[in-house]
């Protein structure tokens, strides 16, 4: 049995690595390399061996090789991943092919080969003031403020972000809406918004709330984060603070109306009445204008679908706490 395990561990397999590359002189181009890997070979090791043994011109970033520094983010067979947290043979098995494709992350501008410009990402991260601002007495050392275990439990997960940018590369909203701070900045922002030791609550609300209503809840950030930070959860939790805000932007008010309309639709019928929710959220005038677009695109039949109320509505109301 032990000899069999040893044989599996030592098994070598030849793979082909296709790398999407870029430089100022040549623009975009692809390079292909062949090498043998075993079950312990991470993609960062694949890249290190290509660079040292085959092609010193290949550029990529990696430092810790243990999912801590956040520098080896890239697309591996189309999926946003950390190269050091990805084993070459796992990719081979998952995609049932000996060809592994490496590309720079989406959304970020490539600088050279797999290295991208993280400038815009850092700007967004620093917009949320990503550090604790404790009380003056604590800073002066004349008082201390301890974090209770229950607060630590709430914040721990969201403090695990390694600034790798993978969630941002997968986020559709960040590409479309420049006023959306993006999933990583929201994770970081909420981590301090919810920290009872922090003194910038009002300021943080102003920074985070409008942006939080610009997320489309597609959950891509949830799926790709290599540290299970769940940025979308922090966005939901941030939205819950809207009631404490003195000023509300249009996006925030629309968002609150939308949540209320969904709640009332479920409470009344047990289902989401899309057309009714839409009218309650955006108002009749906007709904009529949008209906004209819907008619022009031949999709009116979907807007007119009448779903039946669920049979045991009382059960649903009980779940809602009514």
Q: Which stretch binds ligand FES (CB under 6 A): 68-76, 109-117, 190-198, 261-269?
A: 68-76
Spatial distance between the Cα atoms of 223 and 166, rounded to a whole number of angstroms:
10
Cα 148 to Cα 151, 161, 195, 231, distances in angstroms: 5, 21, 10, 23
Q: Considering CB distances under 5 to 8 angstroms, the limit depending on partner class, which of ligand FES, ligand SF4, none binds residue 187?
A: ligand SF4
254 neighbors 283 (Cβ within 8 angstroms):
no
Residues 37-56 that bind ligand FES (CB under 6 A): 44
Binding segment for ligand SF4 (CB under 6 A), chosen from 41-49, 183-191, 277-285, 311-319, is 183-191
Q: How far apart are CA 15 and CA 100, in angstroms?
A: 7
C-beta of 161 vs 209, nearer to ligand FES: 161
Our CB check for ligand FES shows the closer of 224 and 235 to be 224
Q: What is the largest distance, in Å, between two alpha-carbon atoms of the chain? A: 74
Q: Are 91 and 85 in contact (CB under 8 A)?
A: no
Given 62, 102, 105, 114, the residue binding ligand FES (CB under 6 A): 62
Give the nearest distance from C-beta 268 to ligand SF4 in angstroms.
Answer: 28
Q: Is 115 in the site for ligand FES (CB under 6 A)?
A: no
- Strands 13-23 and 115-116 come out as unpaired
- Which of 23, 51, 59, 67 forms a contact with ligand FES (CB under 6 A)? 67
Structure tokens given for 31: 């390079």
Residue 6, helix vs strand vs coil? helix
Task: Give the one entry of ligand FES, ligand SF4, none that residue 74 binds, where binding means its C-beta sits below a cut-off of 5 to 8 angstroms depending on kind.
Answer: none
**Residue 118 buriedness (CB in 10 A; 0-12 / 13-18 / 19+):** buried
Based on the shown chain and the rule CB under 6 A, indicate whether residue 68 belongs to the binding site for ligand FES: yes
The reply on whether position 104 binds ligand SF4 by CB under 6 A is no
Angle between helices 284-296 and 274-282 (to 10 degrees): 130
Instruction: Using CB under 6 A, count the residues that bind ligand FES.
Output: 13
- Single residue of 47, 116, 162, 207 touching ligand SF4 by CB under 6 A: 162
- Least separation in angstroms between CB 70 and ligand SF4: 6
The CA distance from 116 to 59, in Å, is 10
Looking at the Cβ atoms of 83 and 261, the one nearer to ligand FES is 83
Q: Which residues bind ligand SF4 (CB under 6 A)?
A: 161-167, 170-173, 183-184, 187, 215-221, 225, 227, 229, 231-232, 235
């Amino acid at each position: 049995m032990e000899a069999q395990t040893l044989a599996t561990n030592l098994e070598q397999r030849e793979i082909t690595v296709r790398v999407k590359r870029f430089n100022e002189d040549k623009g975009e181009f692809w390079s292909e390399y062949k090498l043998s890997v075993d079950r312990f070979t991470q993609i960062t090791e694949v890249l290190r061996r290509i660079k040292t043994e085959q092609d010193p011109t290949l550029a990529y970033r990696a430092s810790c090789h243990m999912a801590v520094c956040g520098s080896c983010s890239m697309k591996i067979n189309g999926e946003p991943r950390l190269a050091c947290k990805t084993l070459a043979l796992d990719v081979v098995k998952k995609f049932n092919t000996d060809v592994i494709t490496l590309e720079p992350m989406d959304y970020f501008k490539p600088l050279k080969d797999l290295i991208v410009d993280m400038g815009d990402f850092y700007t967004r991260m620093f917009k949320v003031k990503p550090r604790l601002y404790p009380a003056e007495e604590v800073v002066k050392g004349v008082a201390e403020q301890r974090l209770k275990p229950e607060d630590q439990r709430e914040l721990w997960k969201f403090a695990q972000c390694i600034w790798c940018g993978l969630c941002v590369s997968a986020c559709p909203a960040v590409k479309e809406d420049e006023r959306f701070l993006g999933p990583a900045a929201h994770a970081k922002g909420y981590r301090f918004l919810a920290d009872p030791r922090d003194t910038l609550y009002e300021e943080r609300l102003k920074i985070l709330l409008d942006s939080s209503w610009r997320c489309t809840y597609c959950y891509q950030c949830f799926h790709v984060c290599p540290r299970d930070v769940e940025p979308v959860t922090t966005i939901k939790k941030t939205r819950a603070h809207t009631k404490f805000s003195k000023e509300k932007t249009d996006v925030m008010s629309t968002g609150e109306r939308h949540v209320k309309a969904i709640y009332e639709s479920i409470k009344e019928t047990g289902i989401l009445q899309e057309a009714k929710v839409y009218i309650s959220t955006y108002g009749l005038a906007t709904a009529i204008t949008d209906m004209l677009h819907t008619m022009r695109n031949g999709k009116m039949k979907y807007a007119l679908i009448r779903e039946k109320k669920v049979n045991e509505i009382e059960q649903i109301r009980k779940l809602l706490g009514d």
